[in-house]
Structure 1
Amino acid sequence: MTTQVLELHPGDEFVELYKVLKIQGWVGGGGEAKILIGEGHVLVNHEVETRKRRKLVVGDNVIFGEESLIIAASTRPATERVKPVKAPKPAKPKGRPSIKF
């Protein structure tokens, strides 16, 4: 069994279980991860876990098949997440339009 480490950066309190399976490349996508977790194929801290969005914190151990992962704290800062800037909406005309006959 191979054991890997996934680091949580400062400011990240947890990571959801199904995302760990995706990040590690153990599954093809989130849907597949959720199905396998729901069927009981994943262990967290050596117990079967069926909650797909289980919040994993530093010290948790995830086992999937022959793969193992430990959640660890990182001292390196995470890369900044920049929010996209939205263009302002055009102003709506006020009042009722006048109708001329």
Structure 2
Amino acid sequence: MTEFKLTGDYIQMIQLLKATNLVSTGGEAQIVVSEGEVTYNGQIDYRKRLKVKRGDVVEFRGEKIIII
């Protein structure tokens, strides 16, 4: 489990995946999101520019990210 400290109001899903080093590039982040490999608060979400906010939970390949 990883805790990600948010500095603004939100972070876009693909930026979060890059910031937590779960993907190498923005292109890779877009692919994994569009292929349904990422869950947002327990549900698969295909929106690449989804605004992830404090209290949200994102999961990708067995890694859980909690936004604080």
Tell me the TM-score normalized by structure 2: 0.96
- Alignment-mate amino acid for residue 36 of structure 2: G
Q: CA offsets, 1:62-90, max 9 Å, x none? A: 00011000000xxxxxxxxxxxxxxxxxx
Matching of residues 21-32 of structure 1 within 5 Å: 21-32=17-28
Q: Which runs of 5+ in 2 are unaligned?
A: none
- Structure of higher RCO (CA pairs closer than 8 Å, 6+ residues apart): 2
Count how many residue pairs are aligned between Structure 1 and Structure 2.
Answer: 68
- Alignment-mate amino acid for residue 8 of structure 1: L
1:49 aligns to 2:45 (yes or no): yes
Return the offset for 1:55.
0.1
Mapped to 2, the partners of 1:20 and 1:8 lie a distance apart of 10
- Alignment-mate amino acid for residue 46 of structure 1: G
Query: Which of residues 26, 30, 33 is equivalent to 1:34?
Result: 30
**Runs of 4 or more consecutive aligned structure 1 residues displaced over 6 Å after TM superposition:** none
Instruction: Pick the structure with more helix per residue.
Output: 2
Mapped to 2, the partners of 1:35 and 1:66 lie a distance apart of 17
Mapped to 1, the partners of 2:28 and 2:6 lie a distance apart of 23
- Alignment-mate amino acid for residue 39 of structure 2: L
Identical amino acids, percent of aligned pairs = 35
Find the residue that maps to 1:8 and give its secondary structure: coil
Larger Rg: 1
Q: 2:58 — aligned with what?
A: 62
Find the residue that maps to 2:46 and give its secondary structure: coil
